[in-house]
Amino acid sequence: MTRAVDVVVIGGGQAGLAAGYYLRRQNLDFVILDAQPTTGGAWQHTWDSLRLFSPAAYSSLPGWLMPVQDGAEYPDADHVVRYLSAYEERYALPVQRPVQVEAVRRDGERLRVETDTGAWSARAVVSATGTWWRPFLPAVPGRETFAGRQLHTVQYRSPREFAGQRVIVVGGGNSGAQIAADLAAHTDLTWVTQRPARFLADDIDGRALFDAATARRRAVDTGDTDTGGVASLGDIVAVAPVRAARDAGLLKAQPMFARLTEDGAEWADGTRAEAAAVIWCTGFRPALSHLAPLGLRGDRGHIPTHGTRAVDEPRLHLLGYGDWTGPASATLIGVGRPSRDAVRDITTLLG
Ligand code: FAD
């Protein structure tokens, strides 16, 4: 049996919930379908010591400020999960779990959303499926010959399982720096980055990143010079554990190696480092395979959009994912505005 609603939101992480907040305010008939059995999206799966890079008030979804976490200016991931869970209840958001959306197809005037628990028919669809589910690993020579353990950011939990081992962490972004800092005191660590590590000034946190992303979008929209946005400030927010490891001299980035060997890594000049494990903190791609039947793919796996609306399918909006769907839209504080704009557009479309 196919169920009919005005709007199907795919994904019940922060982006899907923010969309739900505005859909509820418009009194639209909608459902949120989420593949996870419990609330919290990707925040349920991050490593144990992760802390937000902004204080609670600057990590809030529309309508309700994130409460301060006792004793912590920068909340941990469990606190975010609790906040998202309470947010979902507070606004009585109609989330169905676990429901995996397998495909979205055109069906005349409507879109057909096929899931592992049956089909939905909608007049508009919001895709908010995040990136955590599509970890990216670069093609590095010898990766298949390395006999040790290889894992991605998404599988890393804590330094306990690597205690005393030689470990190589690959990646010069926030995940790479934070996981390297987490391991630095417990392992024989080699941290490699593609270009020299670029720490943001110690007093800059997510608040400044949000402002930089917003200023960039404004400049681009009004035809002014591109400010360079967040990337112009640096790659790594110097959160307290990163700062501490760096200041103790434990976080010294090496250039990227040329290949992996059976027992470690080798650089172009013949230098070698043995390792029991390589942790790839090499980023993510948007999880968009459910949209493949719509044939909308553009560059780098993105779907071309005007704001959040797909250029070639005006009934589809994309939320979260990255700056290409709105400035800082892949952050807690940044996803509010694009969500509001998407729902406004959908309301107009539905008349
Ligand atoms: P997700 O949290 O990934 O939620 C998407 C949901 O959609 C999931 O529940 C998923 O199961 C579901 N889904 C996926 N595919 C389907 C499908 N086909 N059918 C149905 N459901 C599906 N942001 C900040 O604001 N502050 C920070 O400090 C911060 N730190 C971060 C640290 C790390 C390591 C990472 C990776 C990100 C961080 N972010 C931070 C960025 C961002 O806030 C998170 O990535 C956030 O989880 C993105 O939310 P989302 O709703 O877009 O995606």
pLDDT tens, residue by residue, 132-187? 999 999 999 999 999 999 999 999 999 999 999 999 999 999 999 999 999 999 99
pTM of the model: 0.94
Whether residue 183 contacts residue 241, with contact meaning beta carbons closer than 8 Å, is answered with: no
β partners of residue 152: 280
Cα(295) to ligand 1 centroid in Å equals: 24
Q: Worst-scoring range by mean pLDDT, 89-103, 104-118, 193-207?
A: 193-207
Q: What is the mean pLDDT of the chain?
A: 93
Ligand 1 atom index nearest CA of 178:
34
12 lines ligand 1 (CB under 6 A): yes
Q: Categorize the per-residue pLDDT at 68 as very low, low, confident or very high, splitting at 50, 70 and 90.
A: very high
Q: Categorize the per-residue pLDDT at 217 as very low, low, confident or very high, splitting at 50, 70 and 90.
A: low
- Between 283 and 226, the more confident residue is 283
CB neighbours (10 Å) of residue 156? 24
Q: What is the DSSP letter of 61?
A: B
From 331, 335, 337, give the residue whose CB has the most ligand 1 atoms within 8 Å, as the site to mutate: 331
Q: Which residues, at least 6 apart from 201, have a Cβ–Cβ distance to it below 8 Å?
A: 233, 234, 238
Does the pLDDT at position 228 exceed 70? no
Rounded CA separation 251/179 (Å): 11
Whether residue 27 contacts residue 130, with contact meaning beta carbons closer than 8 Å, is answered with: no
**H or E stretch including 246?**
helix 240-247
Q: Categorize the per-residue pLDDT at 234 as very low, low, confident or very high, splitting at 50, 70 and 90.
A: confident
From 14, 51, 73, 97, give the residue whose CB has the most ligand 1 atoms within 8 Å, as the site to mutate: 14
